[in-house]
Structure formats: structure tokens, C-alpha cells
Amino acid sequence: MNDLYYDMIFKRKSFHTFKGKKNLSESELEEIKNQIETLKPLEEGIKTKFKIVPRTETTCRWGEYAVLIYSEKKEHYLQNVGYMGEQLDLWLASKNIGACWYGMAKPKEVPETDLEFVIMIIIEKVGEEEFRKESGGLKRKTESEIWSGEDPEKIASVARCAPSAVNSQPWFIESRENALYVYQVKGKWGFMMRNAMTHFNRVDMGIFLLILEVCLNQRGLSFQRELCPETAKKQDQILTAVYKLEKE
């Protein structure tokens, strides 16, 4: 699965609109549900629920279905949702199912669950040709804007591809003494409100950690990950995780 995820980092893109020409079949919907069961959490012990509903049951205005993601509210739950949802985002690209993380919409009805609604991913069947071609069109920070220290395996060039809310890219990696220190930094917020971005940037960090780990695995680099306690302090740079790289 890691190789598939790795390849999909360069194929995936956000579908900000859909043509509405193709439909997902019952068997494809079943396959998506089965895939959801295989998603690995960032942190064990946080209850989550992924529910597929017709997109018309949400306030979003395009896409055939919405994958609603709910979670128990615990430390790291937003990063956990990002980490799990990004596995789904990458897998969907491999099946030519277009997707878009969608923070600006809500389900119309309050569900029968005590979990918190976190975010949805809008999906619709699309053609292979509608995905990103390897070379083009990626608007991202440069490698040196997101990385300091040595990078012999060219990890920054892959990690920088991670998607984020309003493309804010709220991440920075410091590489030193055989470890990677991953920080959440103040992203480019644009029109979004500060509170909303505090929420979404944590989801973004989970997405980033997933992409980073897929890249480390692909390079054959073993690691021990430690998630850092979430601090209530308002800082411009929050240490999110430390990866101790193990020499083989």
C-alpha cells in the first residue's frame, strides 16, 4: 500500500468542482467502505466514524457523495483525522475517484452520534485524465521554506506536496542529529478566520505527517515517531512530532 500511496501523492489534486457526468456504482461505494476500515490511525484509542452520504445531505454544492468524518474529542484528534483521511484521499486517486477535503460545509442533519463532526471529503467518479500530471500545476512553498538542515534523501521535495486548507501549508521541518522535528507554523490564512484555521491547520498537520511517513517508508528509512503534547499557548511555532531516524 505504501508504494501506491507514494505514487498518488503526485497524481492527487483537489477537485474544486466536478462535471457531474459519472456516478459511483454500488460496488465502488462498497469498496470505499471496505477501504475506510483499513485506515491506520495516527494515535490509537481515538474513536472515529466515517460516513458516506449523498452530497445533497450537506451544504456543499458539488460532488456526488460526501465522506463525513466524526471523531471523539481527545488530544491529537484533529491530526488523527488528517492522517486517516489523507490515506483515503490518496487511495481514491488510485481508483480515479476525485476528492476534495472540504472544510467550509456541514452536514444538514445532526447525526445520531456523540462524536464531533470534524470535516468532510467530497467525492465523485472522474476520468484518469482529470488528475494532476506529475510535473505541473503544484502551488507550494519551496523546499527551503519548509526545511532546514540536511536532506540527502530529498524528502522535502515530496513532503511539500501535501494538501492543506486554503493551501496554507502550516509546516516546517528541522533536520538535525538524525531526527526530524516537525513544527506547525503560522500558515498563510488569507480570508479565513483565525479560529477556523487553528482547527484546520491541525488537520493539515495530520495530512502532512502521513505524507512525510509515506515518503520515509518509500526511501527505506525506519523511524520512531513521538507526538508532542498539545500546548494551549498561542505560539507561532508548535512542535507537533519528532521522528528519530534509525540507521539500518
| 97: β partners | 125
CB of 14 to ligand FMN, least distance (A): 3
Tell me how far apart the alpha carbons of residues 174 and 224 are, in angstroms, rounded to a whole number.
Answer: 16
Tell me whether residue 199 or residue 221 sits nearer to ligand FMN (CB atom).
Answer: 199
Tell me whether residue 79 or residue 175 sits nearer to ligand FMN (CB atom).
Answer: 79
Tell me whether residue 164 or residue 240 sits nearer to ligand FMN (CB atom).
Answer: 164
CB of 101 to ligand FMN, least distance (A): 3
Query: With the C-alpha atoms ordered 54, 79, 183, 193, is the resulting torsion angle positive or negative?
Result: positive
Tell me whether residue 197 or residue 216 sits nearer to ligand FMN (CB atom).
Answer: 197
Number of H helices, E strands in the chain: 6, 9
CB of 232 to ligand FMN, least distance (A): 21
CB proximity list for 202: less than 8 A, separation 6 or greater = 78, 79, 82, 184
Tell me the backbone φ, ψ of residue 156, rounded to 5 degrees: -60, -35
Tell me how far apart the alpha carbons of residues 131 and 92 are, in angstroms, rounded to a whole number.
Answer: 11
Tell me how far apart the alpha carbons of residues 63 and 55 are, in angstroms, rounded to a whole number.
Answer: 6
CB of 132 to ligand FMN, least distance (A): 7
| Cα 90 to Cα 45, 162, 168, distances in angstroms | 24, 11, 20
Tell me whether residue 100 or residue 175 sits nearer to ligand FMN (CB atom).
Answer: 100
Task: Name the residues that contact ligand FMN, by CB under 6 A.
Answer: 13-14, 16, 100-104, 119, 163-167, 200, 203-204, 207
Question: Which residue lies nearest ligand FMN, judged by its C-beta?
Answer: 163
CB of 178 to ligand FMN, least distance (A): 30
Tell me whether residue 156 or residue 175 sits nearer to ligand FMN (CB atom).
Answer: 156
CB of 122 to ligand FMN, least distance (A): 9
Burial label, 187 (beta-carbon count in 10 A; 0-12, 13-18, 19+): buried
